[in-house]
């Protein structure tokens, strides 16, 4: 009888450990891909402000309110500004980083180096990206790198990550609209609820 009881208790203990292990793995998966820069998906604008986020201005973006700031709880180097997207229903659903301009970067070396460095860091965390990276080599579409990026058929520096939890990340190197020699990085994070917020807003507009 004692042996049977021990066997039952051992089986019960093993079952409990499996359940606890599953909960721990679920929590780990939930927290693995949280919002960037020390933020939390779903947080309110007020909660962000309590963390020291100061918006220089905000505007209606349809499905969300877009707020611009120069500093977050955790920051990337060479930042020009961040854009935070707050949904009235789902809280923080998107974050956009824009770097300072790479000025006088005729051949795009500064921009490409910064792009590749940030891409490696993102790939180390989120896995392999889907990328579109090419440029016109014979000069037929324009001799300057950022001039080439302005033309769809000439060049591209773009990487995407679709995360298991439904969130989405895009990194791209853009050209300055007013210069052929200048460019900057754009890094976009969309939360798992970003597309849902956009869809619901579109439906409400019908």
Domain count within the chain: 2
Q: Is residue 39 included in any domain, yes or no?
A: no
Q: Are residues 148 and 99 in the same domain?
A: yes
Q: Is residue 37 included in any domain, yes or no?
A: no
Instruction: Give the domain CATH number at 168.
Output: 3.40.1000
Q: Are residues 5 and 106 in the same domain?
A: no
pTM of the model: 0.81
Q: Are residues 86 and 169 in the same domain?
A: yes
Q: Are residues 193 and 110 in the same domain?
A: yes
Q: Is residue 83 included in any domain, yes or no?
A: yes
Give residue 6's Cα distance to chain centre. 51
Q: Are residues 90 and 187 in the same domain?
A: yes
Q: Is residue 28 included in any domain, yes or no?
A: yes
pLDDT at position 52 is: 95
pLDDT at position 6 is: 43
pLDDT 10s digits, 157-198: 999 999 999 999 999 999 987 777 899 999 999 999 999 999
Q: Residue 9: left if φ>0, alpha if ψ -120 to 50, beta else—which one?
A: alpha
Q: Are residues 110 and 19 in the same domain?
A: no
Given the structure tokens 């792009």, which residue do they identify?
115
Q: Which residues of 70-102 are buried (b: 16+ CB within 10 A; e: fewer)?
A: eebeeeeebbeebbbbbbeebbbbbbbbbbebb
pLDDT at position 139 is: 55
Q: Are residues 7 and 105 in the same domain?
A: no
Please list the alpha-helical segments (H only) found in 33-153: 45-50, 109-126, 145-149
Q: What is the CA radius of gyration of the chain?
A: 23
Whether residue 155 contacts residue 148, with contact meaning beta carbons closer than 8 Å, is answered with yes
Q: Are residues 4 and 100 in the same domain?
A: no
Q: Are residues 25 and 56 in the same domain?
A: no
Q: Is residue 38 included in any domain, yes or no?
A: no
Range of the domain at 104: 45-204
Q: Is residue 100 included in any domain, yes or no?
A: yes
Please list the alpha-helical segments (H only) found in 54-185: 109-126, 145-149
In this structure, are strands 79-87 and 91-99 parallel, antiparallel, or unpaired? antiparallel
Q: DSSP string of 177-203?
A: TT-SS-EEEEEEEE-TTHHHHHHHHHH
């Amino acid at each position: 009888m004692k042996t049977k009881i021990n066997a039952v208790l051992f089986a019960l203990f093993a079952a409990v450990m499996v359940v606890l292990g599953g909960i721990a793995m679920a929590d780990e998966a939930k927290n693995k891909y949280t919002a960037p820069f020390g933020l939390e998906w779903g947080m309110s604008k007020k909660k962000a402000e309590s963390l020291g986020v100061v918006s220089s201005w905000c505007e209606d973006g349809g499905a969300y309110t877009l707020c611009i700031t120069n500093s977050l709880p955790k920051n990337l180097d060479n930042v020009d500004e961040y854009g935070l997207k707050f949904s009235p229903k789902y809280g923080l659903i998107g974050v956009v980083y824009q770097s300072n301009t790479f000025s006088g970067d005729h051949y795009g070396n500064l921009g490409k180096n910064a792009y590749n460095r940030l891409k490696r860091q993102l790939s180390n965390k989120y896995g392999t990206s889907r990328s579109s990276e090419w440029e016109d080599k014979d000069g037929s579409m324009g001799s300057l790198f950022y001039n080439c990026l302005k033309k769809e058929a000439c060049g591209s520096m773009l990487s995407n990550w679709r995360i298991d939890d439904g969130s989405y990340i895009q990194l791209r190197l853009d050209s300055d609209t007013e210069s052929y020699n200048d460019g900057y990085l754009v890094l976009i994070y969309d939360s798992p609820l970003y597309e849902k917020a956009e869809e619901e807003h579109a439906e409400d507009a019908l």
